[in-house]
Amino acid sequence: MARIFGGGEDQANTNRIVGTYGYMSPEYAMQGLFSEKSDVFSFGVLILEIVTGKRNSSFYDNEHDLSLLGSVWIKWMEDNILSLIDQGIYDPSHHNYILRYIHIGLLCAQELAVDRPTMAAVISMLNSETALLPPSSKPAFILMKNMLNPNGPEECQSGSSIHQ
């Protein structure tokens, strides 16, 4: 999507939003704004899907009304992320790599575009085993109702904001 920019632009706006909720960045889904950071968001979702073996667009945690991003975040904060890792790909000898990939996925899925790394930084993080990663904060669209209806005004007024 970022290839759509003109000459020296690093951000653009559209009135026609297309894509699948859960993969679109919040600024694109809600305001039609897209940039390289929109692609970074989508890439982060893909990383988390690969590691968990679950699709964000069809994942639902009934107990907590959470999306895949929300479930990963909660398990990450509880230090219980192993319960979400796809056992088909899990190898204890690669445990630290998997944790690193999850951390990178969460960094990419930050709610605010300014908080997300650039794609070049993501590549650097993926290629380095020793580079320190910044702390991650709560990702966007952790609640299913926010992901399915990202621009509904009732969400901002009801206190279900993901900024809590």
- pLDDT tens readout for residues 2-52: 454 444 555 555 555 556 777 888 888 788 888 899 999 999 999 999 999
Rounded Cα–Cα distance for residues 47 and 108 (Å): 9
Judge whether 48 and 106 are in contact, CB under 8 Å. Answer: yes
Q: Where does 2-150 sit in CATH, by number?
A: 1.10.510.10
Spans of all domains in the chain: 2-150
Q: pLDDT (tens digit, 9 = 90+) per residue, 60-90?
A: 666 666 788 988 999 999 999 999 999 999 9
Q: Of 89, 102, 88, which is closest to residue 133 (Cα–Cα)?
A: 102
| Secondary structure element (H or E) that encloses residue 124, with its range | helix 119-127
Q: Could you give the CA distance from residue 70 to residue 73 in angstroms, rounded to a whole number?
A: 5
CB atoms within 10 A of CB 79: 7
Residue 123 neighbours by CB under 8 Å, 6+ apart: none
User: What percent helix, strand, coil does the chain show, rounded to 5?
Assistant: 50, 5, 45
